Chain A
């Protein structure tokens, strides 16, 4: 299952939470706005109603009389949406805006207080209606005052307000989401740094995470570093065990070789030869497995390794030139002092050791070791003036597990070991004919393209 992104989860959570909060705010604010408008309209109607009541009197026939009609022009315009009506048991007067219609009869109006309700009215309009029963004369009849305003404009105002508010809130949502994104990014930055360092740790078990960038991730950093320590210890232990195993096997092999010589001296030549062959291949197998375990350890450990090439090459030459079989060989070392290669010094030692010893074994007079750095990468090469390898066999010589030395054709195990090691360090090894006449083995660490 693909792990979900913490950043996306936090961002999504923040965006949804902000959205829900703003939507609730929209609903509440729109309702408040509507109620505010209603109260304003209601107050206007009541004010007009009070003026109506002030100019009200009862005629002799019991019908209401107004000494002065409300001044708002909309009361005079038919179906304008603003209406008044004054009703007694004997008759009623109404605004011209009602034309031939009337306001619905009251059901709840009581004296002394204005009551408000929504109702259907004339001209198929929804109305906000305020009404009150008054008595202009203490002993006179009751008069019902009704004033109404159509509800449509109120709805329209609410809709417009709602739309504008929604637009503003969407903008606010975007700004708050961006702020949340920034906050999440800042909050996760220490984790991203830890993640980068863990990547480096993956490449090289010698790396460790730097001090925790935030108190909250400190336990994580500590745990990872402890894990890395444990892993490195395991790796070192595994290497040491492989070397111990080789030691444990090689000394008995040397002892068996001693027995073989005794058998030969006692006349059991065939048995001795069989033993010698077995010892030789067992020794080669141990060397090969040692190289493999080293290569595996290198694979687990590649990364930010770096070794100066010249001291390693000189150390190898210092060992190889001791051997009796190189008594007539001159080692030419042409490696720039500043050349470094991306591999641990001890692994480079094994690699160059295998190649140099191999070259020295077959050299006649000269072994040339060169190093260079070019646009393509860093190269170390070892060549000799020996018999070389048949070009057709060069591929075979590098084939995994090639055992050309057993076939008696010269270069073999050393090259196979060097190839294992070189590939483990991310290098390519190539065999060509040397200008000196023998074999040239070159190891190339390609330049990694790093963003400038």
Chain B
């Protein structure tokens, strides 16, 4: 696993490098925006930890350039600029997560691992059902060509239902899959999730088959 650390503060960059190395990553460090953009564009990374306040090119611009060049590795922003306007701007520029400084290194490692796990390797693969396309690499989706950002839970829901070959999945089964065996009786959250997805993507994207459960529209295999 290769990680790119983009941080201009030497002590923080060293600490991140040591912590990620200890967590099993092969680490490269970039100290300014130029270097970061070059490394991100020429090397293949599994994850990048990106500071925003950088010399030469600021972090957000680096991120936008990566995304414009289809460099789709997961990026977690680590910034002292911790207000919500910055967080939203970061996510909208293509970041996958945002952590404010000062942070607990344990939390950062957990989030980085989460991003890598969700990305599931570098190969991009798409699942297409009707008008819905799930990108398993970016954990994102498009519906009728319109890009849709999904939370982890939403993605896991769609991913699971998409893999059932058109079989309707009951709320209990979904709860068990998403939350664990002990939670199969708690289906309120699943119903709320369906409402949320219908509102977020399109009302008709998830069909309810009375007495059976849920399936994705157009999944008539």
Contact = CB atoms under 8 A, between A and B. Distances in A.
Contact of A255 (B9, B84, B97): B9
B84 A327 contact: no
Nearest to B139: A322
Nearest to B195: A332
A197 interface: no
B89 to A, nearest CB: 10
A330 B82 contact: no
Interface stretch (A113-121, A133-141, A215-223, A346-354): A346-354
A324 B97 contact: yes
Contact of B114 (A317, A327, A330, A352): A327
Contact of B110 (A279, A324, A331): A324
Given A322-B98, A349-B84, A330 B189 contact: yes
A258 B20 CA distance: 13
Interface string B80-92: 1111110110111
A257 B11 CA distance: 9
B158 interface: no
Contacts of A261: 15, 18-19, 105
> Which of A329, A330, A350 gathers most chain B CB within 10 Å?
A330
Given A255-B12, A333-B196, A365 B179 contact: yes
Nearest to B100: A250
Contact of A366 (B19, B92, B192): B192
B121 to A, nearest CB: 19
B1 interface: no
A316 B102 CA distance: 21
Interface size on A, as a range, is 35 or more
Contacts of A324: 97, 107, 110-111, 114
Contacts of B14: 258
Interface in B6-52: 9, 11-12, 14-16, 18-19
Nearest to B150: A321
A315 interface: yes
Interface in A252-311: 253-259, 261-262, 279, 282-283, 287, 290, 294
Interface in B100-116: 100-103, 105, 107, 110-111, 114
A254 B103 contact: yes
A259 B84 CA distance: 28
A350 B83 contact: yes
B53 interface: yes
Contact of A246 (B16, B80, B84): B80
B151 A322 contact: yes
A327 B85 contact: no
A443 to B, nearest CB: 15
A257 B108 CA distance: 13
The secondary structure that dominates the B interface is: helix
B196 A332 contact: yes
B102 A257 contact: yes
Main secondary structure of the interface of A (DSSP, over half): helix
A327 B195 CA distance: 18
Contacts of B114: 324, 327
Contacts of A251: 9, 12, 53, 80, 101
B153 interface: yes
B199 interface: yes
Nearest to B52: A247
B152 interface: yes
Interface in B147-166: 149, 151-154
B194 to A, nearest CB: 9
B178 interface: yes
B178 A353 contact: no
A326 B16 CA distance: 23
Contacts of B178: 328
Contact of A365 (B92, B152, B186): B186
B127 interface: no
Contact of A328 (B16, B88, B179): B179
A318 interface: yes
B125 interface: no
Interface in A387-422: none
Interface string A361-401: 00001101000000000000000010000000000000000
Contact of A318 (B82, B103, B149, B179): B149
A14 B13 CA distance: 78
B96 interface: yes
A331 B195 contact: no
Given A247-B81, A385-B189, 11 more contacts: A243-B81, A317-B151, A318-B88, A318-B149, A319-B90, A321-B154, A322-B96, A327-B114, A330-B189, A333-B196, A349-B84
18 contacts: A246-B81, A247-B80, A254-B80, A261-B18, A282-B102, A287-B82, A315-B88, A319-B91, A321-B151, A321-B153, A321-B154, A322-B96, A322-B97, A322-B98, A328-B153, A329-B151, A333-B196, A349-B88
- Give the 4 A-B residue pairs with the shortest CB-CB distance, closest first: A258-B15, A321-B151, A250-B80, A353-B84
